[in-house]
Structure 1
Amino acid sequence: MPFVKHEELGTRWHTCHRELRWTDFDQYQHVNNAKYLEFAQDARMVFLRDVLTEMDIAVPPFFVRHTTIDYPRPLSPGENEVAVRSFVTQVGTKSCIMRQECRDSNSRIVCTVDTVMVGVDMMTGKSREWSEQDIANLGLFLIPVEEEQEAYS
């Protein structure tokens, strides 16, 4: 089952595994930084499919507005796959933030992707406010995070 319950909050996160290919690695034998965005996008699509098929919940239509990526450690060629854990960290009136943590085989975070997603009206293509049901559905995956400020030297 791709959904894991967050016992303390009663919400859940989703995990998707992706096999690493030799084309994912750069000349320094680390996963190329651009590949992490692909991992996150693929995992987001699997998340949406699994929410619909396994939980029978409609995910509101959205478009990606902004993405921030942090790379705390490299993913090396000794790894066979990457696990991407997806959950929602904030829900506003028109947008939400999805966090995706790429993890190695020891469950260490190798990359964090935060994506601002804005609700969209499919008829007009313009942004729209979330409905009460949209907010309730997104809330099923809400796991707030405390931001850690890391100093770079």
Structure 2
Amino acid sequence: MRHTYQCPLRWSDMDAYGHVNNVVYLRYLEEARIDFMFRVAEESVRSSGAEVPFRGGCVVARHEIDYLRPLFHRHEPVTVETWVTKLNAASATLAYEIKDAGTVHARATTVIVPYDLKEERPRRMTADERAFLEGYCDDSASAPRIR
């Protein structure tokens, strides 16, 4: 399963060439990741009584992004799909596609690490965090790979 986020484009996202600046793509990934890991994760456990995933903290350890097609400003949002391609005891790799109806504009991956905010150090993933992420695993051949 993949998480789908409709991300609005802002006038300030454009660069001097009239298309969305490369740095802004990372903000789109961040918006989709926050929606996925906090709003969706909390909704997934609301009725079960399980611990809300990632409330203890989580940090980004790595980003990779391939820019495939320019994205021009418009009033309609762009779709950001997010899914999990790798789960370890203390990290996970998320994959993304930033796209609209007919075009994939970018593919990206992010390595996230659960983090103990009080101790200021990485930690292992909890069982509830792992269970949430497992529901979004997609390591199929059709999943985009960063070159």
Q: Please state if 1:84 is matched with 2:80.
A: yes
Indicate the structure whose relative CO is greater, using CA pairs within 8 Å and at least 6 residues apart. Answer: 2
AA partner of residue 105 (structure 1): A
Counterpart residue number, 1:52: 41
How many pairs align?
A: 138
Runs of 4 or more above 6 Å deviation:
none
- Partner Cα separation in structure 2 for residue 45 and residue 93 of structure 1: 21
- Partner Cα separation in structure 1 for residue 145 and residue 2 of structure 2: 20
Matches within 5 A, 1:134-153: 134-146=129-141, 148=145
Residues 51-99 of structure 1 show CA distances to partners (whole Å, capped at 9, x for unaligned) of 2343226223321111111101111245632111111110011111111
**Gaps spanning 5+ residues in structure 1: where?**
1-11
Q: Please state if 1:123 is matched with 2:112.
A: no
Give RMSD over aligned pairs.
2.1
Counterpart residue number, 1:5: none
Counterpart residue number, 1:111: 106
- Partner Cα separation in structure 1 for residue 75 and residue 69 of structure 2: 13
What is the TM-score normalised by the length of structure 1? Answer: 0.78
AA partner of residue 93 (structure 2): I
CA contact (8 A) 2:44 2:132 kept: no
State the 1:18 CA deviation: 1.6
State the 1:100 CA deviation: 1.8
Identity %: 29
The DSSP-based 3-state class of the residue aligned with 1:36 is helix
- Partner Cα separation in structure 2 for residue 78 and residue 118 of structure 1: 34
- Partner Cα separation in structure 2 for residue 29 and residue 145 of structure 1: 36
- Partner Cα separation in structure 1 for residue 111 and residue 34 of structure 2: 15
**Gaps spanning 5+ residues in structure 2: where?**
47-51
